[in-house]
Homo-oligomer: A and B are copies of this chain.
Amino acid sequence: MKVLLVFAHPERHSLNGALRDVAVAELEARGHEVRVSDLYAEGWKASVDRADFPEMAEDERLRVAGASGRAFTAGALTEDVKAEQEKLLWADTLILQFPLWWYSMPAILKGWVDRVYAFGFAYGVGERSDTHWGDRFGEGTLAGKRAMLIVTVGGWATHYAPRGVNGPIEDILFPINHGVLYYPGYTVLPPFVAYRVDRMDEGGFRQVADQLRERMRSIETTEPIPYRMQNGGDYQVPSLELRPELGDPGASGFALHVDRMRVGLIQL
């Protein structure tokens, strides 16, 4: 297996750095090939701007999707972005590792998504018809590959429980799991989340490291989150609303887009 781990923590000598070493070591011990994109170490440019599209005329108005699509087609994106796209095509498994800051990714990783996910590469792919609204949410450039998150959190697990004040961790990570990973085609595995990382002692670390090793050992066989395919018949086109007869009655929000029937079947 070929694994790309995108690492977004500013301190190599951190819990995140130690967990990265654990993950990479375990994957390599199982014979997998691992590459790491260490965004801070590489000085990754976070903000999309005109400099991302070197062939744009100076007085041209920047429309990001259009400029991105033209540059992608022409092979004229910047070298840092092209290198990341090549790694994504090379890998059959993607891991994004980051500390949860303000209920989302650190800016540097958001900027990796904003810049690497070019139009024509990660979105704007596929045709639109009466039954098909582009290749996305289960289809797309990265279909057939697996992806998962490794996330560290300062707060307590109960604060992110189904009734916890922050909202459930599944919902907090939905815009990433569903919106960033599933969108361009990845099969998305349940995230690995470590809580209360600011107060972790040696024993706590050993436990978390063991759990992470187990996740790395089973990365090829772990059951994915059963998100519904956009073009698989569950959604009306072009409104892209879930058909009225689907989903638990009264269910709402992100949970509707997980096919609980499939979860049930898997559990049998």
Judge whether A113 and B106 touch: CB under 8 Å: no
Closest to A50 in B: B10
Tell which of B65, B99, B165, B172 touches A154, judged by Cβ atoms closer than 8 Å: B65
Judge whether B172 and A111 touch: CB under 8 Å: no
Q: In the complex, what distance in Å separates the CA atom of A254 from the CA atom of B103?
A: 13
Judge whether A168 and B252 touch: CB under 8 Å: yes
How many monomers of this protein are in the complex? 2
Q: Is A239 an interface residue (CB 8 A)?
A: yes
Judge whether A106 and B48 touch: CB under 8 Å: yes
Taken residue by residue from 170 to 193, chain A's Cβ proximity to chain B (1 for < 8 Å, 0 otherwise) reads as: 011011101110010000000000
Judge whether A252 and B250 touch: CB under 8 Å: no
Residues in B whose Cβ lies below 8 Å from that of A226: none
A156 to chain B, nearest CB (A): 7
Judge whether A10 and B49 touch: CB under 8 Å: yes
Judge whether B107 and A241 touch: CB under 8 Å: no
Q: Is A263 an interface residue (CB 8 A)?
A: no
A18 to chain B, nearest CB (A): 12
Residues in B whose Cβ lies below 8 Å from that of A154: 65
Residues in B whose Cβ lies below 8 Å from that of A178: 167
Judge whether A235 and B165 touch: CB under 8 Å: yes
Q: Is A247 an interface residue (CB 8 A)?
A: yes
Given contacts A40-B49, A63-B11, A167-B174, contact A117 B102 (CB under 8 A): yes
Judge whether A158 and B240 touch: CB under 8 Å: yes
Q: Is A62 an interface residue (CB 8 A)?
A: yes
Closest to A253 in B: B253
Q: Is A37 an interface residue (CB 8 A)?
A: no
Taken residue by residue from 97 to 113, chain A's Cβ proximity to chain B (1 for < 8 Å, 0 otherwise) reads as: 00101111111101101
A47-B106, A253-B255 known; 9 other A-B pairs, CB under 8 Å?
Answer: A48-B107, A65-B198, A102-B114, A102-B179, A103-B176, A159-B240, A164-B239, A171-B174, A171-B253
Listed A/B pairs (13) with beta-carbon separation below 8 Å: A47-B108, A64-B101, A65-B154, A102-B180, A111-B111, A156-B239, A159-B239, A163-B242, A163-B252, A165-B230, A167-B179, A250-B250, A253-B255
A contact residues vs B (CB 8 Å cutoff): 10-11, 13-14, 40, 44, 46-50, 61-65, 99, 101-108, 110-111, 113-114, 117, 137, 154, 156, 158-159, 161-168, 171-172, 174-176, 178-180, 183, 198, 230, 235, 238-242, 247, 250, 252-257
